[in-house]
Amino acid sequence: MPNRTSGSTPRIGVLALQGDVREHLRALRAVGADPHPIRRTGELADLDAVVLPGGESTTIYKLAVAFGLFEPLREAIAAGLPAYGSCAGMIMLADRILDAAEGQRGFGGIDMTVRRNAFGRQVDSFEAEVDLAGLDGPVHGVFIRAPWVEQVGEAVTVLGRVGSGPAVGRIVAVRQGNLLATAFHPELTGDLRVHARFVDLVRARQR
């Protein structure tokens, strides 16, 4: 999947099988990207990056397999396609998943161990301020059946942790090379800084 010419508007696919797809499309468009929903393998061509939305990771995995997207997208990410995953998307980018459903796999790419539904069930959803490295001021994090990161490899940069409450110190934002992941949903808050940071990452790779 070759990059297009340097300085062009990044063409970013949003995996549109399940989850908060429209919110990511809207946020990406607002920060100057050219977003497209992705449901078929042919739609992977000429992408500069991909976003894996929040939703239900087991369902996303099963649908990706059913639509023939799982292996092509896994291979593209392994080959260097930039990717950002929020919540379920973070799970899908993890090399190792704890409490996964039987047979569940992720695309992988980030050397981390993620615990699925770590913060609890739907009724345990919450919102909290998260300080993210490199951003001025905290990000308002929306955590919905969210994962957390239990372990990272040496190549992974921890960008954010829970700042208060019983899960204080838990890792909820990471980056490894061209891959970015958060346990929370910035696409639901109107704060575009995480999406802008990802688009900047993609643009830097185009140069």
What pLDDT shows up at residue 5? Answer: 41
Give the CATH number, domain containing residue 200.
3.40.50.880
**Domain limits for position 99:** 11-206
In this prediction the pTM is: 0.92
Given 23, 56, 185, 195, the catalytic residue: 185
Q: Which residues contact 24 (CB under 8 A, 6 or more apart)?
A: 14, 35, 51, 53, 86, 187, 195
Given 23, 24, 56, 87, the catalytic residue: 87
Q: Would 180 be classed as within a structural domain?
A: yes
State which residues of the chain have pLDDT below 50: 1-6, 123
CA–CA dist 11, 106 (Å, integer):
23
Note the maximum CA span of the chain. 47
Q: Would 3 be classed as within a structural domain?
A: no
CA–CA dist 95, 7 (Å, integer):
32
Q: Would 129 be classed as within a structural domain?
A: yes
pLDDT one-digit tens code per residue, 19-73: 999 999 999 999 999 999 999 999 999 999 999 999 899 999 999 999 999 999 9
Q: Would 108 be classed as within a structural domain?
A: yes
Query: What DSSP designation does 48 have?
Result: S
Q: Would 6 be classed as within a structural domain?
A: no
Q: Would 5 be classed as within a structural domain?
A: no
Q: Is 87 labeled as catalytic in the residue annotation? A: yes
Residue recorded with tokens 């829970």: 162
What pLDDT shows up at residue 165? Answer: 67
Q: At what angle do helices 70-78 and 57-66 cross, to 10 degrees?
A: 110
Q: Is 36 labeled as catalytic in the residue annotation? A: no
CA–CA dist 24, 54 (Å, integer):
9
Sign of CA dihedral 108, 87, 47, 101: positive
Q: Percent helix, strand, coil in the chain (nearest 5)? A: 30, 30, 45
What pLDDT shows up at residue 4? Answer: 46
Number of domains forming the structure of the chain: 1
Given 24, 56, 187, 195, the catalytic residue: 187
Q: Under the phi-then-psi rule, with left for phi > 0, alpha for psi from -120 to 50, and beta for the rest, what region is 133?
A: beta
What pLDDT shows up at residue 127? Answer: 81
Interior CA angle at 129 toward 200 and 190, to 5°?
Answer: 50
Q: Would 47 be classed as within a structural domain?
A: yes
Which of 103-112 are b and which e, b meaning 16 or more Cβ less than 10 Å from the residue's Cβ?
ebebbbbbbb
